[in-house]
Amino acid sequence: MIADQIVPPQRTLMGPGPSEIHPSVLAALAAPTVGHLDPYFLKIMDELQSMLRQVFQTTNPMTMAISGTGSAGMETCVVNLIEPGDRMVACINGVFGGRMAEVAERLGAEVTRIERPFGQVFTPEEIREVVNRVQPKAVGIVHAETSTGAWQPLDEVAQIVHAAGALLIVDCVTSLAGAPVEIDRLGIDAAYSGSQKCLSCPPGLAPVTFGPRALEAMDRRKHRVSSWYLDVGLLRNYWGSNRAYHHTAPINMNYALHQALRLVLQEGLPARFARHLLHHRALKAGLQAMGIQYSGDPQHCLPMLNSVLIPDGIDDMTVRSQLLNDFGIEVGGGLGPMKGKVWRIGLMGETAKKSNVLLILAALEQCLARQSRRPQPGAGIAAATDVYLQS
Amino acid sequence: MIADQIVPPQRTLMGPGPSEIHPSVLAALAAPTVGHLDPYFLKIMDELQSMLRQVFQTTNPMTMAISGTGSAGMETCVVNLIEPGDRMVACINGVFGGRMAEVAERLGAEVTRIERPFGQVFTPEEIREVVNRVQPKAVGIVHAETSTGAWQPLDEVAQIVHAAGALLIVDCVTSLAGAPVEIDRLGIDAAYSGSQKCLSCPPGLAPVTFGPRALEAMDRRKHRVSSWYLDVGLLRNYWGSNRAYHHTAPINMNYALHQALRLVLQEGLPARFARHLLHHRALKAGLQAMGIQYSGDPQHCLPMLNSVLIPDGIDDMTVRSQLLNDFGIEVGGGLGPMKGKVWRIGLMGETAKKSNVLLILAALEQCLARQSRRPQPGAGIAAATDVYLQS
C-alpha cells in the first residue's frame, strides 16, 4: 500500500496549538537542508539562541531548542535538575502541572503535590506554606495552563521559592511570546516552552533556558542524568561553544523556529503582548454577548488560551465537528476532568487576529443556532467589533 | 539583534546524514499544518505506520515515528525494555554501540560490553559465548555502524539471542531503506532508525518498531519507564487505536516522512537496495583507483556509509574544508578514535546517484592534488564509470 500524496486541508487553527503559521516560516522550513555541523547551521544556532534569549528576556547562555516537543522540554528541565530522593513541590491546577509531577516521580523524586481546582491559580501564601514545610530542592509551576487557561502570577512565587533556597521551574509552553516571560527579572531557574504556541512555528522543538543556579545544581549532581538524549551536560557541548556532535539536530525545524523568532522580534514583544490582549478582549466580549462564560478565575485568564464553558444543552462533539467540517476551524476540547465541559479557543501568535475572532464568533453562532440554543443574531460580532472600534 | 533571513547554501550532502532530500519531501514539509488530533492527521499517522511497516518488513502494530531524532529512538527502545538491575549485553564496534551501552547504564542496568575493533563485526561465536555466560534480558547490536561503515550480519545473531530467551535490540539508523532490515524474518524485537539517512527526510523523527515479545516485556515491567516522553505504554494510546492525546506530534515532520516513505515504496525496496549497492561499487572502484582504501573489514562494508582512510600526508580538515567551500560537498569526519583518520562518505537515499559519485571523485582528486599526493588524473572517474558501464 502506498498512500496518496499529502494534501492537507487548510484549517483555521484556533485550538490549544498548533497555531497558525506565517508563510515565511513554512518557507524557511522547506529551505535546503545542510549538515548539523555545517558552519552555516552553527551560525543559525548562534542566532537562534540569541533570539530565544530576547524572547525569554534573559542573558542565560544555556538557552536553546530541545529536539523534541514541549513535553520533551518539560522532561529536560526536570530530569536535569531532579535526582532520585530529591524533594520537589509540584503545583497542580491543570493537566500540565500534573504531568510535571509525574515526570519527577518517575525519576524517583519525593514529590509533594499541592493542588488548586482547575482554572484557579496559586496564592503566594500557599506556596510559602508548602515551601517552608517541605524545604524542596525545586518548585515546579505552570505559568500558563494550556488545559484551563489559568494565568499564574509569578513575582511573589519566585521571591518565596528563592528565599527558601529552592529552584523555580516554570512551564511557559503557552505563554512564551504571547505574554511576558521574564526569566532574568524573576530569576526563574529553568523554563521550557514549545514551538507551536505563541511562537507560531510547527510543533517539534522545545525552547528551554537554564540560569546559573540551575547549572550549578547540575554540576553538583550525584547521579548521572537518566536520559542521555536530554542530558544538558552533553547538550552544552553542542549548543555551547565547542559545538561537539551530540545528536543530529532537526535542521529544518530549527530554520523554521529561526524565522518564527525573527517575526516575533520584528513585531516587538510589547506590541505582540498587546495584540494578544486586544484580540482576547474582543473574543471575550463577543462570547459573553452570546451567553458563553469563561471557565476559570476571571482575574487570571490567559489572553491566548480561552477556556469557556460549553452552554447547557449543547453537545461538545457536535459543535466541534461542525466547526471543523463546516467552517474549517479547529478549537480544543477539554482535557482530563474538563472533557466535555469546556472548549479551548486559542489566540496564539499568528492566530491572534481580527478575522479569526470574527470568524469563530460567526461560526459558533451558527453552530449554537442549530442546537437548542439560539443566541441573539449578530450579538457576538457586534460586541467584538465594539472592542476593536474602541481600541 | 534580529538575524537575517535564512538562505542556506545548497550543499551536496555526502556525509553520514542528513542525506539529500527530494523536493517533494520539502514540499510536504511545508504543507499547511493541521492539529495533532485532526482527522486528517490521524489518517496520515495510519498511512505512515503502514508504510513504515513495509520498510521495516514487519507486521508489528507498534511501529511508529518517535518525536525526536535517531538517538531518541535508541533511548525509546532501551528505556522501555530495560529496568534497573536488568542484564543487557551491548555489542560495541563503534560509537553507536557504545552509546547504547551508556543509555542502558544510565537506567541502572547491568551492562556487559563486548567489543570489536572499530570497523569489524561480531561473529556468531562471540555472541553465543557472551549470551550463554551472561544470560541477559536483552542484547543490543548495531546493524549499520554510522561511525565505521561496518555492516553486521544478523541472521545467526538473532537465532542465538532468541535461543537464549533474550530480546534483540537493533540499531538500523543508517541501514533502514538502504539495505534489508528484516524485522519479522529475523524476529528482531525492537529496532530504531532515523529519518535523515536512507529515508532521505530531514532529521527530527525516529522510526521504531516493537515486536510481541518486546511488548510482553513492557507489560511485565516492575518499574515505571523513567521517561514520560518516550514511554511506549503511553505512546501506544496515541499511535494505537484510541488516539489519546499524549504530546503534540511534529505535524510537518510527519508529513515529510510520509512523502519520503512514499518515494521509498514507489521505487521498491529491492530496487532501492540495488541502487545503493551499485553506487557504492562505483564509488569504491573510483576511490581505490585513486589509492584510497576503506577503513573496515572489506567483507562487511556498508554500501551507504563509506569509511575510508585518509591517505598519509593529507590533512583531514584541509580537505574537508575545500570540499565544503570550493565544491559545496559535505563529507563526514571520523568520530571518537577515528577522528582525523577517516572520512565518512555517505551514499544514502537520494544521495546515492551517479552524479554525486562522479562529483566527489572529481573534487577529491583536485583536493588531493593540491596537497602532496597527486592521484593519476581521471583514474577515479574512469574506474567508477567502468562500473556503471558494466552494470
Q: Which domain holds residue B322?
A: 269-390
Query: Do residue B120 and residue B100 come from a single domain?
Result: yes
Cβ neighbours around B4 below 10 Å, total: 9
Q: Taking a C-beta distance cutoff of 8 angstroms, is the pair A179, A57 a contact?
A: no
Judged against a pLDDT cut of 90, whether residue B371 lies above it is answered with: no
Give the one of A18, A251, A335 whose C-beta lies nearest to B18's C-beta: A251
Residue A3 lies in a domain: no
- Whether B18 contacts A251, CB under 8 Å: yes
Separation between Cα atoms, residue A57 and residue A184, nearest integer Å: 6
Non-local (6+) Cβ contacts of A274 within 8 A are none
- The reported pLDDT for the residue numbered B24 is 98
Return the SS3 of B114: strand
Give one word for B237, left, alpha or beta, with left for phi > 0 and alpha for psi -120 to 50. alpha
Residue B242 confidence (pLDDT): 78
Task: Report the C-alpha gap between A202 and A205 in whole angstroms.
Answer: 8
Which parts of chain B are beta strand (E)?
12-13, 63-66, 87-92, 110-115, 138-142, 167-171, 190-192, 206-210, 305-309, 329-330, 332-333, 342-346
Searching chain A, which residue's CA lies closest to the CA of residue B1? A51
Q: Which of A2, A24, A67 sits opposite B266 (nearest CB)?
A: A2
Instruction: Compute the distance between CA of residue A103 and CA of residue A168 in angstroms, rounded to an integer.
Output: 16
Same domain, A116 and A259: yes
Has residue B380 been placed in a domain?
yes
Domain boundary among B231, B246, B265: B265
pLDDT averaged over chain B? Answer: 97
| Mean pLDDT value across chain A | 97
Mean pLDDT of B203-222: 98
pLDDT band at A241 (very low <50, low <70, confident <90, very high): confident
Could A107 and B226 be called an inter-chain contact, meaning their C-beta atoms sit closer than 8 Å? yes
User: Which chain A residue has its CA at the smallest distance from B224's CA?
Assistant: A106
CB contact set of A73 (below 8 Å; sequence gap of 6+): A66, A173, A192, A193, A194, A206, A207, A208
Q: What is the pLDDT of residue B305?
A: 98
Question: Which of B235, B265, B295 is the C-terminal boundary of a domain?
Answer: B265
Those residues whose C-beta lies under 8 Å from the C-beta of residue A148, and which sit 6 or more positions away, are A93, A94, A118, A119, A295, A296, A307, A338
Instruction: Name every chain A residue with its beta carbon within 8 A of the beta carbon of B251.
Output: 18, 202-203
Residue range A84-125, pLDDT digits in tens = 999 999 999 999 999 999 999 999 999 999 999 999 999 999
Q: How confident is the model at residue A267, as a pLDDT?
A: 98
Residue B241, judged by CB atoms within 10 A of its CB (0-12, 13-18, 19+), counts as exposed
Residues 6 or more apart in contact with residue B242 via CB below 8 angstroms: none
pLDDT of A287 strictly over 90 = yes
Q: Does B247 sit within 8 Å of A106, measured CB to CB? A: no
A253, pLDDT greater than 90: yes
Q: Which of A197-206, A231-240, B133-142 has the lowest mean pLDDT?
A: A231-240
CB-CB contact of B264 with B272 (8 Å): yes
Contacts of A17 in chain B (CB under 8 A): 248
Do A82 and A161 lie in a common domain? yes
Given A9, A39, A227, which is nearest B227 (Cβ)?
Answer: A227
Q: What are the residues whose beta carbons fall under 8 Å from the beta carbon of A388, sequence distance 6 or more?
A: A278, A282, A354
Q: How confident is the model at residue B51 (pLDDT cuts 50, 70, 90)?
A: very high
Q: What is the pLDDT of residue A374?
A: 79
Following CA atoms B317, B322, B323, B326 in sequence, which dihedral angle do they give, to the nearest 10 degrees?
160
Q: With CA atoms as reference, report the closest residue to A8 among B78, B370, B208, B256.
A: B256
Residue in chain A nearest B83 by alpha carbon: A226
Are both A253 and A272 inside the same structural domain? no
Q: Cell 602532496 belongs to which residue?
A: B372
Domain of residue A91, CATH code: 3.40.640.10
| Cα of A390 to nearest chain B Cα, Å | 33
**Residue B16 covered by a domain:** no
Rounded mean pLDDT, B29-52: 97
Whether B68 sits inside 8 A of A70 (CB atoms) is no
Chain A, nearest residue to B255 by Cα: A6
ipTM of the predicted structure?
A: 0.97
Question: Is the residue at B193 inside a domain?
Answer: yes
Q: What is the pLDDT of residue B245?
A: 85
* Residues of chain A contacting B103 with CB distance shorter than 8 Å: 228
Rounded CA gap, A73 and B190, in Å? Answer: 26
- A225 φ, ψ (degrees, to nearest 5): -65, 130
* A243 pLDDT more than 90: no
- Overall number of domains in chain A: 2
Q: pLDDT per residue over B52-110, tens digit each?
A: 999 999 999 999 999 999 999 999 999 999 999 999 999 999 999 999 999 999 999 99
Does residue B292 sit in the same domain as residue B172? no
Substitution target in B40, B71, B105, B228 with the highest count of A β-carbons within 10 Å is B228
User: What is the band of B374 on the pLDDT scale with cuts at 50, 70, 90?
Assistant: confident
What are the tens digits of pLDDT across the range A335-367? 999 999 999 999 999 999 999 999 999 999 999
**SS3 state of residue B140:** strand
Residues A291 and A252 in one domain: no
Contact A70 B6 (CB under 8 A): no
> Distance between CA A295 and CA A274 in Å, rounded?
23
Is A312 in the same domain as A247?
Answer: no
Residue B95 φ/ψ, nearest 5 degrees: -65, -35
Taking phi over 0 as left and psi of -120 to 50 as alpha, with beta for the rest, A31 belongs to beta
Identify the closest residue of chain B to A29 by CA–CA distance: B30
Query: Among partner residues B34, B245, B324, which is closest to A9 by beta-carbon distance?
Result: B34
Q: How far away is chain B from the Cα of A319, in angstroms, using its nearest Cα?
A: 15
Output the nine-digit C-alpha cell for B34.
Answer: 493541521
Taking CB atoms and an 8 Å cutoff, what residues of chain B touch A226?
Answer: 106-107, 226-227
For residue A134, the surrounding DSSP H or E stretch is helix A124-134
Radius of gyration of chain B (CA): 21
Answer positive or negative: Cα dihedral of A349, A355, A358, A362: negative
CB B342 within 8 A of CB B310: yes
| Nearest CB to B204 within list A99, A102, A250 | A250
Q: For residue A252, list chain B residues with Cβ-Cβ distance below 8 A.
A: 26, 29, 202, 204, 256
Task: Considering only the beta carbons, identify the residue of A7, A103, A251 that sits closest to B228.
Answer: A103
Residues B155 and B212 in one domain: yes
* Residue among B51, B106, B253 minimizing CB distance to A3: B51
Domain-located, residue B322:
yes
Do the beta carbons of residue B286 and residue B378 sit within 8 Å? no
Q: Are residues A105 and A242 in the same domain?
A: yes
* Residue indicated by cell numbers 465537528: A321
Position B151 scores a pLDDT of 98
Dihedral angle computed from the Cα positions of residues A347, A348, A354 and A357, in that order, rounded to the nearest 10 degrees:
-20
At A374 the three-state DSSP class reads coil
Tell which of B248, B265, B282 closes a domain. Answer: B265
C-alpha closest to that of A263 among A275, A251, A278, A279: A275
Nearest to A51 among B3, B29, B330 (CB): B3
Give the pLDDT of residue A242: 78
Using a CB-CB distance cutoff of 8 angstroms, which residues of chain B are in contact with residue A55? none
Helix (H) or strand (E) holding B47: helix B39-56
Grid coordinates representing A109? 523524586
pLDDT at A245: 85
Q: Assess whether B298 and B250 both reside in one domain.
A: no
Q: Which residues pair with B342 in a beta bridge?
A: B309
Nearest Cβ partner of A247 from B9, B69, B227? B69
Q: Please tell me whether residue A150 adopts helix, strand or coil conformation.
A: strand
Cβ–Cβ under 8 Å, residues B94 and B148 = yes
Q: What does the alpha-carbon distance between residue B31 and residue A7 come to, in Å, rounded to a whole number?
A: 7
Task: Work out the average pLDDT over B316-334.
Answer: 97
* Residue A3: CA count within 13 A, CB half-sphere: 24
The answer as to whether B329 is a domain residue is yes
Q: Does residue B101 sit within a domain?
A: yes
| Amino acid A372: pLDDT | 74
B332-356 pLDDT, tens digit per residue, is: 999 999 999 999 999 999 999 999 9
**Amino acid, single-letter form, for residue A218:** M
In this predicted structure, the answer to whether residue A240 has a pLDDT above a threshold of 90 is no
Q: Which amino acid is at A193?
A: S
Domain harbouring A334, CATH code: 3.90.1150.10
pLDDT reading at B372 higher than 80: no
Enter the C-alpha cell of residue B379.
Answer: 583514474
Q: Say if A161 falls within a structural domain.
A: yes
Q: CB distance B33–A202 less than 8 Å?
A: yes
Interface with chain B: mutation pick from A14, A19, A33, A107, highest number of B CBs within 10 Å: A33
- Closest-CA residue of B relative to A38 is B330
How many angstroms separate the Cα of B112 from the Cα of each of A209, B104, B267, B325?
36, 10, 41, 44
| Of residues A179, A177, A221, A204, the one with CA closest to residue A84 | A221
Question: Which residues of chain A does B26 touch, with a Cβ-Cβ cutoff of 8 Å?
Answer: 30, 32-33, 252
For residue B113, the cross-strand partners are: B90
Q: How far is A156 from chain B (nearest CA, A)?
A: 30
Taking CB atoms and an 8 Å limit, are A5 and B262 in contact across chains?
yes
Give yes or no for a contact between A380 and A51, defined as CB atoms under 8 angstroms apart: no
DSSP per-residue codes, B216-247: HHHHT-SS--S-STT-HHHHHHHHSTT----S
Same domain, B252 and B307: no
Q: Taking CB atoms and an 8 Å cutoff, what residues of chain B touch A224?
A: 105-106
Name the grid cell of A31.
Answer: 529551505
Q: What are the tens digits of pLDDT across the range B222-267?
A: 999 999 999 999 999 888 877 888 899 999 999 999 999 999 999 9
Q: Do residue A164 and residue A196 come from a single domain?
A: yes
**Of the candidates B107, B115, B110, the residue with the CA atom closest to the CA atom of residue B87:** B110
Burial status of residue A291 (CB atoms within 10 A of its CB: 0-12, 13-18, 19 or more): middle
Exposure of A55 in the CB half-sphere (CA atoms within 13 A): 38
**In sequence order, what are the residues at sequence separation of 6 or more whose Cβ sits closer than 8 angstroms to the Cβ of residue B360?**
B12, B14, B283, B323, B329, B331, B345
C-alpha cell at A284: 471575550
Sorting pLDDT into bands at 50, 70 and 90, what band is B42? very high
